[in-house]
Amino acid sequence: MSFKITNIVGANALECKCRSWLEHWERFTREKAKRCFVEGCNETNDLIGGYVKWASPFALNRYVIPFCKAHNAKPESQKLEISDSARFKAVPATVLETCRIQHPEEEAHL
């Protein structure tokens, strides 16, 4: 099974203290990004945090998954496929659901 997503051109600025969306993803999953998550793409170099949404007109939530540079440059009109296992590793771009829960101590220092 695979799942369709679209890249969002022009990601929102980070609301947390992560230095990049990729670091945000790695921090939340506690994994190192090893390759682009797009189905069939095995690019391992120059990975960045792709800012995406599910390919549905009703999808409002934004997620972060590892992307290669080429996939990060895809227009929103182009649907990309990710595997189900990749889908479950998509990290919400909403800080309230991620960094603020996992690292509440950071907030005390702001």
Q: How far apart are the first and last CA of the chain?
A: 43
Minimum separation from the CB atom of position 58 to Zn ion (A): 26
d(CA 29, CA 65): 10
Question: With respect to Zn ion, which residue has the nearer C-beta, 14 or 54?
Answer: 14
Kindly list the residues in this chain that would bind Zn ion in the complex (CB under 5 A): 16, 18, 24, 36, 38, 41, 43, 68, 71, 99
Question: With respect to Zn ion, which residue has the nearer C-beta, 54 or 92?
Answer: 92
Question: With respect to Zn ion, which residue has the nearer C-beta, 59 or 73?
Answer: 73
